[in-house]
């Protein structure tokens, strides 16, 4: 089968690499010449474990092709995936302009015969109907097109695994022919098949992300209770998670959720609900608790820091990614700079993106130990394995004051107590 993927971010590039690895001919359409040239040379642009190897393998096999030209790609494709971003607007709603622009270009280049256009971008309910209208308005008369919604559920850091081994594959369409073609394309993949209408498929993605965000905010709410009452949040949530109806996944307290999906999608669902006259106080509370968790962390830093030099471990919103969109690190760096602190930061992958944002306002360390040298406080914001396994005796010897403010609870209390740190974590009693 020949397919086209419009967009080469996390979703688009991973989708293209996986389907080309299954033997399909895959075109990837972009709009930036520099990025397309880098991709042609095997540079994935973004950091994702295993992606560079997948990209190189399928480029070498000549199954994967990158272009700026819609005509060359779309005209020979059986399926066209839309994977462009839907960033939030100034009022929090999803900006769908890129999706509609892409739909216009696809429509103008559809071949004679039947093509499936499937949207993987996270879009509001009703968007695919508008995409269908745009396609029909712009296509040639002898071109037949059917629209489908095929949302993605990959996680940054495990995107390849999630794409190859999905929990479910959701296909929403009014066309049985489109559904059959998408089922054929996805045949090598595991996971339950969910065949539904367009509106349900569109809402499934938002609902999934809202639930994940809710679990994180709920864990942080319980952490607030634990800090006030003397309870231990890890003990509480471990016990709660043993209930098979609940589970422990995503019930992790800390500095809140970030990244390109959860903040944006919860916000978009809030605004969609208001447009339909739905009371969204529940989702408002999820967002507020997420903000409160970051402010709570900042308060701890300001309370326990005994100097003006702070080290930060972890800049990406999660480990195994260089993505800093809505990352806790961005919030904390801005807040501490306003307070006049000197900051030295380190992350295995995300440093270059933070440097683009903050320039020479902060210092960038080459490794975790260089970051803590002469620092009075260490802030941990991302749970990279190298931080979990760091030589804390060495860390203590390098710091001016042995204070750790842990936003991810990566160390055991008894272990850290024996080393003589002041240790402030989330939802657990401080070691002073």
Strand partners, 116: 79, 146
Q: Please indicate, yes or no, if residue 367 is contained in any of the structural domains.
A: yes
148 & 23 share domain: yes
265 & 155 share domain: no
Residue that is last in its domain, among 170, 196, 222: 196
Question: What pLDDT does 321 receive?
Answer: 94
| C-beta separation of 141 from 172 below 8 A | no
Residue that is last in its domain, among 196, 225, 255: 196
185 & 50 share domain: yes
What is the spatial distance between Cα 133 and Cα 338, in angstroms, rounded to a whole number? 49
174 & 254 share domain: no
Q: Please indicate, yes or no, if residue 106 is contained in any of the structural domains.
A: yes
Residue that is last in its domain, among 148, 167, 196: 196
Q: Please indicate, yes or no, if residue 224 is contained in any of the structural domains.
A: no
Q: CA distances (Å), 15 to each of 19, 27, 308, 366, 413, in order?
A: 6, 11, 45, 33, 42
Buried b (16+ CB within 10 A) or exposed e, 89-125: eeebbbebebbeebbbbbbbbbbeeebbbbbbbbbbb
Q: Please indicate, yes or no, if residue 393 is contained in any of the structural domains.
A: yes
Q: Please indicate, yes or no, if residue 213 is contained in any of the structural domains.
A: no
Question: What pLDDT does 79 receive?
Answer: 98
What is the spatial distance between Cα 361 and Cα 334, in angstroms, rounded to a whole number? 10
What the block records as the tokens of 289 is: 């608790």
Buried b (16+ CB within 10 A) or exposed e, 1-23: eebbbbbbbbbbbbbbbbbbbbe
133 & 244 share domain: no
What is the spatial distance between Cα 354 and Cα 333, in angstroms, rounded to a whole number? 10
What is the spatial distance between Cα 13 and Cα 24, in angstroms, rounded to a whole number? 14
Q: Please indicate, yes or no, if residue 342 is contained in any of the structural domains.
A: yes
Strand partners, 183: none
192 & 302 share domain: no
60 & 185 share domain: yes
Q: Please indicate, yes or no, if residue 207 is contained in any of the structural domains.
A: no
What is the spatial distance between Cα 275 and Cα 281, in angstroms, rounded to a whole number? 14
Looking up residue 420, the CATH number of its domain turns out to be 3.40.50.720
184 & 36 share domain: yes
* Active-site amino acid positions: 261
The stretches in the chain having pLDDT less than 50 are none
Question: What pLDDT does 88 receive?
Answer: 86
Question: What pLDDT does 90 receive?
Answer: 81
44 & 150 share domain: yes
Give the strands of the sheet with 403-406, arranged side by side.
363-364, 342-346, 309-313, 377-380, 403-406, 422-424
Q: Please indicate, yes or no, if residue 223 is contained in any of the structural domains.
A: no
Give the total number of structural domains in the chain: 2
247 & 135 share domain: no
Question: What pLDDT does 93 receive?
Answer: 83
Question: What pLDDT does 380 receive?
Answer: 98
Domain of 364?
233-424
88 & 188 share domain: yes
Question: What pLDDT does 89 receive?
Answer: 85
286 & 413 share domain: yes
């Amino acid at each position: 089968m020949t397919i086209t993927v419009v967009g080469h971010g996390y979703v688009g590039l991973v989708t293209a690499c996986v389907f080309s690895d299954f033997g399909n001919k895959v075109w990837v359409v972009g709009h930036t010449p520099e990025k397309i040239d880098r991709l042609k040379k095997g540079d994935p642009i973004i950091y994702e474990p295993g992606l560079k190897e997948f990209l190189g393998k399928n480029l070498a096999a000549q199954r994967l092709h990158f272009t700026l030209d819609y005509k060359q790609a779309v005209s020979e494709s059986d399926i066209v995936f839309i994977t462009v971003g839907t960033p939030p607007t100034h009022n929090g709603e999803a900006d769908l302009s890129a999706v509609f622009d892409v739909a216009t270009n696809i429509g103008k280049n559809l071949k004679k015969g039947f093509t499936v256009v499937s949207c993987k971008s996270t879009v509001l309910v009703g968007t695919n109907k508008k995409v269908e209208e745009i396609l029909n308005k712009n296509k040639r008369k002898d071109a037949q097109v059917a629209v489908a919604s095929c949302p993605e559920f990959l996680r940054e850091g495990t995107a390849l695994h999630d794409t190859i081994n999905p929990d479910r594959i959701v296909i929403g369409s009014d066309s049985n022919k489109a559904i059959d073609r998408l089922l054929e394309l996805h045949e090598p993949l595991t996971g339950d098949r969910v065949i539904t209408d367009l509106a349900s498929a569109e809402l499934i993605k938002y609902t999934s992300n809202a639930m994940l965000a809710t679990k994180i905010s709920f864990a942080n709410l319980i952490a607030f209770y634990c800090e006030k009452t003397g309870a231990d949040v890890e003990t509480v949530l471990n016990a709660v998670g043993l209930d098979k109806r609940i589970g422990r996944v995503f019930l992790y307290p800390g500095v809140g959720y970030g990244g390109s999906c959860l903040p944006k999608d919860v916000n978009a669902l809030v605004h969609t609900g208001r447009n339909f006259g739905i009371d969204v106080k529940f989702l408002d509370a999820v967002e507020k608790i997420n903000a409160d968790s970051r402010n709570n962390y900042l308060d701890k830093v300001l309370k326990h820091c005994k100097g003006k030099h702070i080290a930060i471990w972890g800049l990406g919103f999660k480990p195994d990614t260089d993505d800093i969109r809505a990352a806790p690190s961005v919030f904390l760096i801005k807040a501490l700079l306003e307070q006049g602190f000197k900051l030295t930061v380190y992350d295995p992958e995300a440093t270059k993106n933070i440097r683009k944002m903050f320039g020479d306002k902060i210092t960038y360390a080459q490794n975790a130990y260089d970051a803590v040298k002469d620092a009075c406080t260490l802030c941990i914001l991302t749970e990279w394995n190298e931080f979990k396994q760091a030589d804390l005796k060495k860390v203590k010897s390098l710091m001016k004051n042995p204070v750790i403010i842990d936003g991810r609870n990566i160390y055991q209390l008894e272990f850290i107590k024996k080393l003589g740190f002041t240790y402030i974590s989330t939802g657990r009693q401080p070691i002073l």
